[in-house]
Structure 1
Amino acid sequence: MVARPLIGVSTYLTDARWGVWDLEAALLPAGYPRLVQSAGGLAAMLPPDDPDRAASVVDRLDAVVVAGGPDVEPVRYGAAPDPRTGPPARARDTWELALIDAALASGTPLLGICRGMQLLNVALGGTLVQHMEGHAVQEGVFGRHPVKPVPGTLYASIVPDEDQVPTYHHQAVDRVGRGLVVSAHASDGTVEAVELPGPSWVLGVQWHPEMGEDLRVMQALVQAAS
Protein backbone atom coordinates (compact mmCIF):
# COMPACT_ATOMS: atom_id res chain seq x y z
CA MET A 1 0.00 0.00 0.00
CA VAL A 2 1.34 3.44 -0.94
CA ALA A 3 1.69 5.72 2.08
CA ARG A 4 -0.61 8.73 2.06
CA PRO A 5 1.33 12.04 2.08
CA LEU A 6 1.21 14.08 5.28
CA ILE A 7 -0.39 17.48 4.68
CA GLY A 8 0.02 20.09 7.41
CA VAL A 9 -2.79 22.66 7.74
CA SER A 10 -2.39 25.86 9.76
CA THR A 11 -5.02 26.60 12.40
CA TYR A 12 -6.74 29.37 14.28
CA LEU A 13 -5.79 30.15 17.87
CA THR A 14 -9.02 31.44 19.40
CA ASP A 15 -11.43 31.18 22.31
CA ALA A 16 -13.87 28.30 21.92
CA ARG A 17 -16.58 26.54 23.93
CA TRP A 18 -17.32 22.81 24.15
CA GLY A 19 -19.05 20.89 26.93
CA VAL A 20 -18.36 22.71 30.18
CA TRP A 21 -15.18 24.35 28.84
CA ASP A 22 -14.55 27.88 27.59
CA LEU A 23 -10.85 27.97 26.71
CA GLU A 24 -8.36 29.09 24.11
CA ALA A 25 -8.21 26.42 21.42
CA ALA A 26 -6.27 25.51 18.29
CA LEU A 27 -9.23 25.35 15.93
CA LEU A 28 -9.64 24.23 12.34
CA PRO A 29 -12.98 23.96 10.50
CA ALA A 30 -13.60 20.29 9.74
CA GLY A 31 -13.86 20.98 6.01
CA TYR A 32 -10.07 21.28 5.78
CA PRO A 33 -9.08 17.84 7.10
CA ARG A 34 -12.03 16.27 5.28
CA LEU A 35 -10.83 17.80 2.00
CA VAL A 36 -7.28 16.55 2.59
CA GLN A 37 -8.54 13.08 3.48
CA SER A 38 -10.94 12.89 0.53
CA ALA A 39 -8.10 13.90 -1.80
CA GLY A 40 -5.90 11.06 -0.54
CA GLY A 41 -3.76 12.76 2.12
CA LEU A 42 -3.31 12.60 5.87
CA ALA A 43 -4.14 15.86 7.66
CA ALA A 44 -2.01 17.31 10.49
CA MET A 45 -2.96 20.47 12.38
CA LEU A 46 -0.27 23.17 12.70
CA PRO A 47 -1.22 25.57 15.51
CA PRO A 48 0.83 28.76 15.94
CA ASP A 49 4.29 28.02 17.31
CA ASP A 50 7.73 29.59 17.60
CA PRO A 51 8.60 30.71 14.05
CA ASP A 52 12.12 29.38 14.56
CA ARG A 53 10.59 25.88 14.53
CA ALA A 54 8.82 26.32 11.21
CA ALA A 55 11.60 24.82 9.09
CA SER A 56 11.84 21.69 11.24
CA VAL A 57 8.04 21.30 11.11
CA VAL A 58 7.95 21.65 7.32
CA ASP A 59 10.81 19.14 7.01
CA ARG A 60 8.48 16.49 8.48
CA LEU A 61 5.61 17.26 6.09
CA ASP A 62 4.96 16.38 2.47
CA ALA A 63 2.96 19.58 1.82
CA VAL A 64 1.66 22.67 3.63
CA VAL A 65 -1.78 24.32 3.50
CA VAL A 66 -2.17 27.83 4.92
CA ALA A 67 -5.86 28.01 5.80
CA GLY A 68 -8.36 30.84 5.63
CA GLY A 69 -9.06 33.09 8.58
CA PRO A 70 -8.69 36.64 9.86
CA ASP A 71 -7.32 39.60 7.94
CA VAL A 72 -3.55 39.91 7.58
CA GLU A 73 -2.30 42.81 9.70
CA PRO A 74 -1.72 45.73 7.29
CA VAL A 75 1.66 46.60 8.84
CA ARG A 76 2.91 43.40 7.21
CA TYR A 77 2.59 45.09 3.81
CA GLY A 78 3.37 48.65 4.89
CA ALA A 79 -0.19 49.98 5.10
CA ALA A 80 -2.24 51.74 7.75
CA PRO A 81 -5.32 49.75 8.83
CA ASP A 82 -8.60 50.56 7.13
CA PRO A 83 -11.48 50.97 9.63
CA ARG A 84 -13.10 47.89 8.06
CA THR A 85 -10.04 45.67 8.50
CA GLY A 86 -10.47 43.10 11.25
CA PRO A 87 -8.38 42.88 14.44
CA PRO A 88 -4.87 41.50 14.02
CA ALA A 89 -3.94 37.86 14.60
CA ARG A 90 -0.25 38.52 15.15
CA ALA A 91 0.79 35.09 16.42
CA ARG A 92 -0.85 33.47 13.42
CA ASP A 93 0.63 35.98 10.96
CA THR A 94 4.12 35.37 12.34
CA TRP A 95 3.79 31.57 12.35
CA GLU A 96 2.23 31.26 8.92
CA LEU A 97 4.73 33.62 7.31
CA ALA A 98 7.47 31.40 8.77
CA LEU A 99 5.73 28.29 7.37
CA ILE A 100 5.50 29.93 3.94
CA ASP A 101 9.17 30.94 4.02
CA ALA A 102 10.18 27.42 5.07
CA ALA A 103 8.06 25.76 2.39
CA LEU A 104 9.42 28.05 -0.32
CA ALA A 105 13.01 27.53 0.83
CA SER A 106 12.67 23.74 0.93
CA GLY A 107 10.56 23.30 -2.20
CA THR A 108 7.72 21.75 -0.19
CA PRO A 109 4.38 21.91 -2.05
CA LEU A 110 2.33 24.83 -0.72
CA LEU A 111 -1.34 25.76 -1.04
CA GLY A 112 -2.75 29.01 0.34
CA ILE A 113 -6.52 29.25 0.81
CA CYS A 114 -8.18 32.70 1.03
CA ARG A 115 -6.15 34.36 3.82
CA GLY A 116 -3.42 31.86 2.93
CA MET A 117 -3.24 33.19 -0.63
CA GLN A 118 -3.17 36.76 0.64
CA LEU A 119 -0.40 35.93 3.10
CA LEU A 120 1.62 34.22 0.36
CA ASN A 121 1.32 37.41 -1.67
CA VAL A 122 2.43 39.51 1.32
CA ALA A 123 5.34 37.14 2.07
CA LEU A 124 6.65 37.90 -1.42
CA GLY A 125 6.32 41.66 -1.07
CA GLY A 126 2.81 42.15 -2.42
CA THR A 127 -0.01 44.23 -0.99
CA LEU A 128 -3.72 43.79 -0.36
CA VAL A 129 -6.95 45.67 -1.01
CA GLN A 130 -8.27 46.05 2.53
CA HIS A 131 -11.96 46.16 1.68
CA MET A 132 -14.10 45.32 -1.31
CA GLU A 133 -17.76 44.57 -1.84
CA GLY A 134 -19.57 41.63 -3.37
CA HIS A 135 -17.46 38.63 -2.32
CA ALA A 136 -19.09 38.16 1.10
CA VAL A 137 -22.77 38.81 0.47
CA GLN A 138 -24.11 37.74 3.88
CA GLU A 139 -22.16 37.58 7.13
CA GLY A 140 -21.26 34.01 8.04
CA VAL A 141 -22.63 32.56 4.79
CA PHE A 142 -20.49 31.33 1.89
CA GLY A 143 -21.52 32.54 -1.55
CA ARG A 144 -20.58 31.25 -5.00
CA HIS A 145 -19.29 32.96 -8.11
CA PRO A 146 -17.47 32.00 -11.31
CA VAL A 147 -13.68 31.93 -11.54
CA LYS A 148 -11.91 31.92 -14.90
CA PRO A 149 -8.44 30.34 -15.21
CA VAL A 150 -5.58 32.02 -17.07
CA PRO A 151 -4.48 29.72 -19.91
CA GLY A 152 -1.02 28.19 -19.58
CA THR A 153 -0.90 28.35 -15.78
CA LEU A 154 -0.66 25.60 -13.19
CA TYR A 155 -4.20 26.35 -12.06
CA ALA A 156 -5.51 26.09 -15.62
CA SER A 157 -3.87 22.67 -15.92
CA ILE A 158 -5.87 21.56 -12.85
CA VAL A 159 -9.17 23.30 -13.63
CA PRO A 160 -9.14 24.21 -17.34
CA ASP A 161 -12.60 25.77 -17.58
CA GLU A 162 -14.52 28.50 -15.76
CA ASP A 163 -15.89 27.09 -12.52
CA GLN A 164 -18.27 28.14 -9.74
CA VAL A 165 -16.44 28.29 -6.40
CA PRO A 166 -17.42 28.82 -2.74
CA THR A 167 -16.27 32.25 -1.59
CA TYR A 168 -16.24 34.47 1.50
CA HIS A 169 -13.82 37.38 1.76
CA HIS A 170 -13.66 41.16 1.80
CA GLN A 171 -9.97 41.60 0.98
CA ALA A 172 -8.01 40.71 -2.14
CA VAL A 173 -4.60 40.86 -3.80
CA ASP A 174 -3.59 44.36 -4.93
CA ARG A 175 0.08 44.52 -6.00
CA VAL A 176 1.23 41.01 -6.87
CA GLY A 177 4.24 39.71 -4.95
CA ARG A 178 7.68 38.99 -6.42
CA GLY A 179 7.69 36.14 -8.90
CA LEU A 180 3.99 35.36 -8.54
CA VAL A 181 1.74 35.21 -11.57
CA VAL A 182 -2.03 35.59 -11.57
CA SER A 183 -3.70 32.35 -12.66
CA ALA A 184 -7.44 33.07 -12.24
CA HIS A 185 -9.84 36.02 -12.07
CA ALA A 186 -13.41 36.64 -10.97
CA SER A 187 -15.77 38.28 -13.46
CA ASP A 188 -15.13 41.67 -11.80
CA GLY A 189 -11.38 41.31 -12.32
CA THR A 190 -10.53 40.32 -8.74
CA VAL A 191 -7.42 38.14 -8.55
CA GLU A 192 -8.69 34.68 -7.61
CA ALA A 193 -5.51 32.60 -7.85
CA VAL A 194 -1.76 33.19 -7.86
CA GLU A 195 1.11 30.79 -8.34
CA LEU A 196 4.89 30.73 -8.32
CA PRO A 197 6.32 29.27 -11.53
CA GLY A 198 9.32 27.01 -11.10
CA PRO A 199 10.22 23.54 -9.92
CA SER A 200 8.12 23.72 -6.74
CA TRP A 201 4.32 23.43 -6.54
CA VAL A 202 3.05 26.75 -5.11
CA LEU A 203 -0.55 27.90 -5.55
CA GLY A 204 -2.89 30.28 -3.76
CA VAL A 205 -6.67 30.39 -4.28
CA GLN A 206 -8.94 33.13 -3.00
CA TRP A 207 -11.95 30.86 -2.53
CA HIS A 208 -12.67 28.03 -0.08
CA PRO A 209 -12.36 24.59 -1.72
CA GLU A 210 -13.00 22.97 1.67
CA MET A 211 -16.58 24.28 1.46
CA GLY A 212 -17.31 22.65 -1.90
CA GLU A 213 -17.29 19.26 -3.56
CA ASP A 214 -14.53 19.84 -6.13
CA LEU A 215 -11.41 17.93 -5.05
CA ARG A 216 -9.20 18.87 -7.99
CA VAL A 217 -7.04 21.55 -6.36
CA MET A 218 -6.39 19.47 -3.25
CA GLN A 219 -5.83 16.32 -5.32
CA ALA A 220 -3.19 18.20 -7.30
CA LEU A 221 -1.46 19.24 -4.07
CA VAL A 222 -1.57 15.66 -2.74
CA GLN A 223 -0.16 14.37 -6.02
CA ALA A 224 2.67 16.92 -5.83
CA ALA A 225 3.29 15.88 -2.21
CA SER A 226 3.55 12.24 -3.29
Structure 2
Amino acid sequence: MVKPIIGIAGNQLIHPTEFFHGNQVSYTPQGFVNGIQKTGGIPFILPIGASALAKTYINQIDKLLLAGGQDVSPDLYGEEPQPKLEETNRNRDIFELALITEAMKQKKPIFAVCRGMQLLNVALKGTLYQDLSEYKDWKVKHVQQPTTPEFATHSIVTEKGSILQNILGEKKRVNSYHHQAVRDLSPELIPTAYSTDGIIEGVEAKNPEQRLLAVQWHPELNFDKDERECALFDYFVNQL
Protein backbone atom coordinates (compact mmCIF):
# COMPACT_ATOMS: atom_id res chain seq x y z
CA MET A 1 0.00 0.00 0.00
CA VAL A 2 1.37 3.40 -1.00
CA LYS A 3 1.39 5.83 1.91
CA PRO A 4 0.16 9.40 1.23
CA ILE A 5 2.79 12.13 1.29
CA ILE A 6 1.65 14.98 3.56
CA GLY A 7 3.28 18.34 2.95
CA ILE A 8 3.55 20.38 6.15
CA ALA A 9 4.04 24.10 5.55
CA GLY A 10 7.08 24.88 7.70
CA ASN A 11 7.77 27.79 10.02
CA GLN A 12 11.01 29.73 10.51
CA LEU A 13 12.83 30.74 13.66
CA ILE A 14 14.15 34.18 12.75
CA HIS A 15 15.22 35.59 16.12
CA PRO A 16 18.72 34.47 17.15
CA THR A 17 18.96 32.11 20.12
CA GLU A 18 21.96 30.67 21.92
CA PHE A 19 20.62 27.14 21.44
CA PHE A 20 21.07 27.38 17.66
CA HIS A 21 24.17 29.61 17.91
CA GLY A 22 22.30 32.55 16.39
CA ASN A 23 21.31 30.65 13.22
CA GLN A 24 17.87 30.85 11.64
CA VAL A 25 16.02 27.53 11.67
CA SER A 26 13.26 26.01 9.51
CA TYR A 27 10.97 23.72 11.50
CA THR A 28 7.55 22.30 12.20
CA PRO A 29 6.08 21.14 15.54
CA GLN A 30 6.95 17.49 16.19
CA GLY A 31 3.32 16.66 16.96
CA PHE A 32 2.37 17.05 13.29
CA VAL A 33 5.16 14.72 12.22
CA ASN A 34 4.20 12.13 14.83
CA GLY A 35 0.46 12.38 14.16
CA ILE A 36 0.93 11.89 10.43
CA GLN A 37 3.31 8.98 10.91
CA LYS A 38 1.04 7.30 13.47
CA THR A 39 -1.90 7.35 11.07
CA GLY A 40 0.00 6.05 8.07
CA GLY A 41 1.25 9.13 6.24
CA ILE A 42 4.70 10.34 5.22
CA PRO A 43 5.43 13.87 6.53
CA PHE A 44 7.26 16.17 4.12
CA ILE A 45 8.20 19.60 5.52
CA LEU A 46 7.96 22.51 3.06
CA PRO A 47 10.35 25.33 4.13
CA ILE A 48 9.33 28.94 3.53
CA GLY A 49 10.45 30.08 0.11
CA ALA A 50 9.44 32.02 -2.98
CA SER A 51 5.83 31.82 -4.11
CA ALA A 52 7.06 30.54 -7.47
CA LEU A 53 8.05 27.28 -5.73
CA ALA A 54 4.50 26.50 -4.62
CA LYS A 55 3.52 24.60 -7.76
CA THR A 56 6.60 22.40 -7.57
CA TYR A 57 6.01 21.63 -3.89
CA ILE A 58 2.32 20.84 -4.34
CA ASN A 59 3.15 18.60 -7.30
CA GLN A 60 5.27 16.47 -4.96
CA ILE A 61 2.67 15.90 -2.23
CA ASP A 62 -0.76 14.32 -1.89
CA LYS A 63 -2.16 16.62 0.80
CA LEU A 64 -1.26 19.91 2.51
CA LEU A 65 -1.20 20.70 6.23
CA LEU A 66 -1.11 24.30 7.48
CA ALA A 67 0.28 24.61 11.02
CA GLY A 68 -0.03 27.22 13.76
CA GLY A 69 2.35 30.06 14.57
CA GLN A 70 2.56 33.82 14.09
CA ASP A 71 -0.30 36.24 13.55
CA VAL A 72 -1.48 36.77 9.98
CA SER A 73 -0.39 40.11 8.46
CA PRO A 74 -3.55 42.29 8.65
CA ASP A 75 -2.93 44.13 5.38
CA LEU A 76 -3.72 40.83 3.66
CA TYR A 77 -7.35 41.37 4.66
CA GLY A 78 -7.38 45.13 4.25
CA GLU A 79 -6.60 46.38 7.76
CA GLU A 80 -3.90 48.39 9.51
CA PRO A 81 -2.17 46.68 12.47
CA GLN A 82 -3.95 47.13 15.79
CA PRO A 83 -2.04 47.68 19.09
CA LYS A 84 -2.50 44.07 20.28
CA LEU A 85 -1.24 42.46 17.08
CA GLU A 86 1.65 40.10 17.85
CA GLU A 87 4.58 38.89 15.73
CA THR A 88 3.97 38.36 12.01
CA ASN A 89 6.09 36.80 9.26
CA ARG A 90 5.04 38.20 5.91
CA ASN A 91 7.33 35.82 4.00
CA ARG A 92 5.50 32.90 5.57
CA ASP A 93 2.10 34.43 4.87
CA ILE A 94 2.82 34.98 1.17
CA PHE A 95 4.39 31.55 0.69
CA GLU A 96 1.52 29.73 2.40
CA LEU A 97 -1.07 31.72 0.45
CA ALA A 98 0.65 30.46 -2.71
CA LEU A 99 0.57 26.89 -1.38
CA ILE A 100 -3.17 27.21 -0.65
CA THR A 101 -3.88 28.60 -4.12
CA GLU A 102 -1.92 25.84 -5.82
CA ALA A 103 -3.35 23.05 -3.65
CA MET A 104 -6.88 24.19 -4.46
CA LYS A 105 -5.99 24.47 -8.15
CA GLN A 106 -4.71 20.88 -8.10
CA LYS A 107 -7.70 19.79 -5.95
CA LYS A 108 -5.48 18.43 -3.21
CA PRO A 109 -6.90 18.24 0.33
CA ILE A 110 -5.95 20.82 2.98
CA PHE A 111 -6.03 20.38 6.76
CA ALA A 112 -5.46 23.67 8.61
CA VAL A 113 -4.75 24.15 12.33
CA CYS A 114 -5.10 27.38 14.39
CA ARG A 115 -3.21 30.06 12.40
CA GLY A 116 -3.62 27.74 9.42
CA MET A 117 -7.40 28.03 9.67
CA GLN A 118 -7.15 31.80 9.97
CA LEU A 119 -4.87 32.08 6.93
CA LEU A 120 -7.12 29.77 4.92
CA ASN A 121 -10.03 32.09 5.69
CA VAL A 122 -7.99 35.13 4.60
CA ALA A 123 -6.87 33.34 1.42
CA LEU A 124 -10.53 32.87 0.53
CA LYS A 125 -11.47 36.54 1.19
CA GLY A 126 -12.42 36.34 4.86
CA THR A 127 -11.21 38.58 7.71
CA LEU A 128 -9.90 38.12 11.26
CA TYR A 129 -10.13 39.63 14.71
CA GLN A 130 -6.57 40.85 15.20
CA ASP A 131 -7.13 40.25 18.92
CA LEU A 132 -10.10 38.74 20.74
CA SER A 133 -10.55 42.00 22.65
CA GLU A 134 -12.21 43.23 19.42
CA TYR A 135 -14.94 40.57 19.83
CA LYS A 136 -17.78 42.00 21.94
CA ASP A 137 -19.08 38.60 23.13
CA TRP A 138 -15.69 37.25 24.28
CA LYS A 139 -16.30 35.24 27.47
CA VAL A 140 -14.12 32.12 27.18
CA LYS A 141 -10.37 31.85 27.84
CA HIS A 142 -8.84 30.94 24.46
CA VAL A 143 -5.18 31.06 25.53
CA GLN A 144 -4.90 28.38 28.18
CA GLN A 145 -1.40 28.99 29.57
CA PRO A 146 -0.21 27.92 32.09
CA THR A 147 -2.39 24.82 31.65
CA THR A 148 -0.52 22.26 29.53
CA PRO A 149 -1.94 21.32 26.09
CA GLU A 150 -2.70 17.72 27.02
CA PHE A 151 -5.60 19.07 29.10
CA ALA A 152 -8.62 20.46 27.26
CA THR A 153 -9.65 23.94 28.41
CA HIS A 154 -13.01 24.81 26.80
CA SER A 155 -15.98 23.24 25.03
CA ILE A 156 -16.95 23.25 21.37
CA VAL A 157 -20.21 22.26 19.71
CA THR A 158 -20.15 20.81 16.19
CA GLU A 159 -22.74 21.28 13.46
CA LYS A 160 -25.05 18.42 12.51
CA GLY A 161 -23.93 16.53 9.40
CA SER A 162 -20.45 18.06 9.44
CA ILE A 163 -17.18 16.20 9.05
CA LEU A 164 -16.20 17.32 12.54
CA GLN A 165 -19.39 15.98 14.12
CA ASN A 166 -18.89 12.65 12.38
CA ILE A 167 -15.36 12.44 13.82
CA LEU A 168 -15.72 14.13 17.22
CA GLY A 169 -19.39 13.91 18.12
CA GLU A 170 -21.72 16.77 18.97
CA LYS A 171 -19.67 18.16 21.87
CA LYS A 172 -16.02 18.06 22.84
CA ARG A 173 -13.51 19.85 25.03
CA VAL A 174 -10.39 21.11 23.27
CA ASN A 175 -7.11 22.84 24.09
CA SER A 176 -6.74 26.45 23.00
CA TYR A 177 -3.82 28.74 22.09
CA HIS A 178 -5.06 31.68 20.02
CA HIS A 179 -5.69 35.39 20.51
CA GLN A 180 -6.87 35.91 16.91
CA ALA A 181 -9.97 34.38 15.35
CA VAL A 182 -12.19 34.37 12.28
CA ARG A 183 -14.30 37.52 12.04
CA ASP A 184 -15.98 37.51 8.60
CA LEU A 185 -16.06 33.97 7.28
CA SER A 186 -15.09 33.40 3.65
CA PRO A 187 -18.07 32.84 1.34
CA GLU A 188 -16.35 29.62 0.25
CA LEU A 189 -16.38 28.15 3.77
CA ILE A 190 -19.03 26.99 6.22
CA PRO A 191 -18.65 27.04 10.03
CA THR A 192 -18.88 23.57 11.55
CA ALA A 193 -17.83 24.11 15.19
CA TYR A 194 -18.19 26.92 17.73
CA SER A 195 -16.99 27.70 21.24
CA THR A 196 -19.67 28.60 23.77
CA ASP A 197 -18.95 32.32 23.30
CA GLY A 198 -19.57 32.06 19.55
CA ILE A 199 -16.02 31.95 18.16
CA ILE A 200 -15.75 29.79 15.04
CA GLU A 201 -13.67 26.73 15.97
CA GLY A 202 -13.97 24.66 12.79
CA VAL A 203 -14.69 25.16 9.09
CA GLU A 204 -15.17 23.09 5.96
CA ALA A 205 -15.53 23.88 2.27
CA LYS A 206 -18.94 24.92 0.99
CA ASN A 207 -18.14 23.06 -2.25
CA PRO A 208 -17.88 19.33 -1.35
CA GLU A 209 -15.52 18.79 -4.28
CA GLN A 210 -12.97 21.03 -2.55
CA ARG A 211 -11.63 18.96 0.33
CA LEU A 212 -10.86 21.38 3.16
CA LEU A 213 -10.98 20.88 6.93
CA ALA A 214 -9.76 23.35 9.55
CA VAL A 215 -9.80 23.59 13.34
CA GLN A 216 -8.88 26.40 15.72
CA TRP A 217 -7.38 24.17 18.43
CA HIS A 218 -4.24 21.98 18.40
CA PRO A 219 -4.83 18.24 17.87
CA GLU A 220 -1.09 17.75 17.32
CA LEU A 221 -0.49 18.53 21.00
CA ASN A 222 -2.64 15.75 22.47
CA PHE A 223 -3.51 13.23 19.72
CA ASP A 224 -1.48 10.62 21.62
CA LYS A 225 -3.77 10.98 24.66
CA ASP A 226 -7.14 11.67 23.01
CA GLU A 227 -8.49 9.11 20.54
CA ARG A 228 -10.82 11.62 18.88
CA GLU A 229 -7.94 14.02 18.20
CA CYS A 230 -6.00 11.13 16.68
CA ALA A 231 -9.09 10.39 14.58
CA LEU A 232 -8.73 13.87 13.03
CA PHE A 233 -5.25 12.92 11.77
CA ASP A 234 -6.55 9.56 10.57
CA TYR A 235 -9.35 11.24 8.62
CA PHE A 236 -6.97 13.76 7.05
CA VAL A 237 -4.30 11.22 6.12
CA ASN A 238 -6.58 8.43 4.92
CA GLN A 239 -9.96 9.89 3.90
CA LEU A 240 -10.00 13.66 3.21
RMSD between superposed Cα atoms in Å = 1.8
Q: Name structure 1 gaps, 5 residues minimum.
A: none
Per the alignment, residue 94 of structure 1 pairs with 94
68-77 or 23-32, which moves further after superposition?
23-32
SS of the residue 2:23 aligns to: strand
Cα offset for 1:80? 1.3
Give me the TM-score of the superposition, normalised by structure 2.
0.88
**Structure 1 28/171 Cα, relative in aligned 2: closer, same or farther at 3 Å?**
same
Aligned residues of 1:71 and 1:85 also touching (Cα < 8 A): yes
Per the alignment, residue 3 of structure 1 pairs with 2
1:166 aligns with 2:181: no
Per the alignment, residue 48 of structure 1 pairs with 48
Q: Which residue, 215, 223, 232 being the options, matches 1:205? A: 215
Q: Which residue, 219, 222, 232 being the options, matches 1:217? A: 232
1:137 aligns with 2:144: yes
Aligned residues of 1:201 and 1:224 also touching (Cα < 8 A): no
135-144 or 216-225, which moves further after superposition?
135-144
Per the alignment, residue 78 of structure 1 pairs with 78
Per the alignment, residue 194 of structure 2 pairs with 185
SS of the residue 2:86 aligns to: coil
CA distance in 2 between counterparts of 1:170 and 1:26 reads 24
**Structure 1 137/160 Cα, relative in aligned 2: closer, same or farther at 3 Å?**
closer
Cα offset for 1:7? 0.4
Cα offset for 1:17? 4.6
Cα offset for 1:163? 1.2
CA distance in 2 between counterparts of 1:191 and 1:39 reads 27
CA distance in 2 between counterparts of 1:41 and 1:84 reads 38
Per the alignment, residue 146 of structure 1 pairs with 155
**Structure 1 20/125 Cα, relative in aligned 2: closer, same or farther at 3 Å?**
closer
1:63 aligns with 2:78: no
Per the alignment, residue 138 of structure 2 pairs with none
CA distance in 1 between counterparts of 2:200 and 2:146 reads 22
Amino acid at match of 1:188: D
Aligned residues of 1:109 and 1:224 also touching (Cα < 8 A): no
**Structure 1 18/46 Cα, relative in aligned 2: closer, same or farther at 3 Å?**
farther
Per the alignment, residue 176 of structure 1 pairs with 185
SS of the residue 1:93 aligns to: helix
Cα offset for 1:18? 7.1
Q: How many residues were matched structurally? A: 224
Per the alignment, residue 114 of structure 1 pairs with 114
Amino acid at match of 2:10: T
**Structure 1 69/139 Cα, relative in aligned 2: closer, same or farther at 3 Å?**
farther
Give me the TM-score of the superposition, normalised by structure 1.
0.93
SS of the residue 2:169 aligns to: coil
